Amino acid sequence: MKVSIITVVHNNASTIKNAIESVINQSYQNIEYIVVDGASTDGTIEIINNYKHLIAHFISEPDAGIYNAINKGIKLATGDIVGILNSDDFFCSKNIIEKVVNEFLKDNIDAVYGDVQFINPNNENKIIRYYSSKRFKPSMFKYGFMPAHPSFYAKRSFFNELGYYKETYKIGADFELLLRFLLKNNLNAKYLEMSFVTMRTGGISNRSYKSNLLLNKEILQACRENNVKTNLINIYS
């Protein structure tokens, strides 16, 4: 079973090496690694070129945003299942993909998801937040709750069948896609009780506050587009 892993990046020379090595050092060997760069100018491309012989597809060109870049990667993918690793992130261990594949092989499932953990970029040994998807049920989408997107792996065929990330969204297309896949189309998904990915985070800022407002607005939009009855009171709760 081939796994396509997609990393999109733009001007992230400080962490892209860590992300790439996290993929190429996985114990599972049948990985198709795809890196989509948005025409970086800070040295990111030079770092990626050092690993080019281990990357199945690498493109560097201007894009129309992160979801446009992710969709480019998915359309290049030839794997049986598809997952995404952000350029700021890295896998929690070397056998994450092996465990994911084992679940697909032993059960008749369409997708898997699990947990993620967050670290302070200035102290990568300290976990400051843990996002658990254990309590998630598809009915919880109306409250703005979704499984951890960086832990989501699905059969590639469903992207062709059900559609890609909607590029009209600024930051909420991952929520909309998960809602569309797991609730509207009722994919058979399995929760794995483990942390897939370590994510770097920063402090609270005015920009993050504005991002939360936009995200909640797009969550409401996603619910309406997929005929899920909710309102901002439910989402903020």
- Name the β-bridge partners of 4: 32, 82
Closest CA to 130 of 212, 201, 214, 208: 201
pLDDT score at 123: 85
Rounded to two decimals, what is the model's pTM?
Answer: 0.94
- Name the β-bridge partners of 200: 119
Cβ atoms of 185 and 154 closer than 8 Å:
no
pLDDT score at 76: 98
Give the pLDDT means over successive 10-residue stretches in the chain (237 positions).
Answer: 98 97 98 98 97 97 96 98 97 98 94 96 88 96 97 98 97 97 97 97 59 93 97 89
Closest CA to 222 of 176, 160, 173: 176
Cβ atoms of 171 and 214 closer than 8 Å:
yes
User: 3-class DSSP state for residue 81?
Assistant: strand
CA-based torsion, 36, 166, 90, 186: positive or negative: negative
